[in-house]
Structure 1
Amino acid sequence: MEVFLLQHIHHGGEPGEAVHRDYEVLDGAVAYDDDLDDAKIVGVYSTELAVFAAMDRARQREGFRDEPDCFMVDTYLLDEDQWTTGYVTLSPDDD
């Protein structure tokens, strides 16, 4: 079964100030800076229609309405591993 993960990206800046960065958008995805921006999971939904309804509801709420176009949707298959290759941790001194 395919599910849809809906996230919202709040771009960092001064408190109460929405900051819109001129990031390159790849494949329709909202780009963000891990150090400055904040990604929040809005929810996981069973259909695209449910995702659009959730976005409409979120756009009425404080914070989300300041950046109404900063949603990201990823699709996943239930009961499947998403990360299968392991990982390494780099220190700030690594190039």
Structure 2
Amino acid sequence: MEDPQVYLLWHARHLVVEDDGSIIHTDPDGSLHLDEEEWRLLGVFRDEATAAAHLAAARELPGFRDEPDCFQISPMLPDEDQWTDGYFTVIHGRHGNGEHI
């Protein structure tokens, strides 16, 4: 039986520049640093190997090649809701609805 999962290929562009001009891309354990980043969805693929091939090609493109280790392949089941609890936005120490946090 065919794998029911699809594979999403993402890229994170990190927005925070440290005082010394550097950008933190990965944490000490090698995982992707998650703090103030923009995510781009490059594609949805039928199998992980195809997603990996597209990742390798994207690493050579302008912009992506500046952050070559900031890709992520995420498996996902079709027709599965990923936002079941909603969300809120924090703006300068307040929720998007104006409440202090």
Match of 2:10 among 7, 11, 14: 7
Match of 1:32 among 31, 34, 43: 34
- After superposition, the Cα gap between the structure-2 partners of 1:87 and 1:68, relative to the gap in structure 1 and judged at 3 Å, is closer
TM-score normalized by the length of structure 1: 0.71
Kindly indicate whether the alpha-carbon contact (under 8 Å) linking 1:4 and 1:76 is maintained by their aligned counterparts in 2. Answer: yes
**Per-residue CA shift, 1:5-63, capped at 9, x if unaligned?**
1111112267xxx953165377x7522323xx221111111111011101111011011
Given candidates 1, 21, 24, the residue that maps to 2:24 is 21
- Aligned partner of 1:65 in structure 2 is 65
Runs of 4+ in 1 over 6 A off after TM superposition: none
Q: 1:4·1:47 contact (CA, 8 Å) conserved in 2?
A: yes
CA-based RMSD: 2.9
- Give the count of matched residue pairs: 89
Contact 1:11 1:19 in 2 (8 A): no
Conservation of the 8 A alpha-carbon contact between 2:16 and 2:23: no
Evaluate the alpha carbon distance shift between residue 93 and residue 32 of structure 1 in structure 2; reply closer, same or farther with a 3 A threshold. same
TM-score, normalisation: structure 2 = 0.68
> Structure 1: how far apart are the matches of 2:16 and 2:88?
30
Cα gap change, 1:67/1:19 in structure 2, threshold over 3 Å: closer, same or farther? farther
Higher Rg of the two aligned structures = 2
2:79 is matched by which residue type in structure 1?
Answer: D
Q: Which has the higher contact order (CA 8 A, sep 6+)?
A: 1
Equivalent-residue separation in structure 1 for 2:11 and 2:25 (angstroms): 17
Letter in 2 for 1:47: D
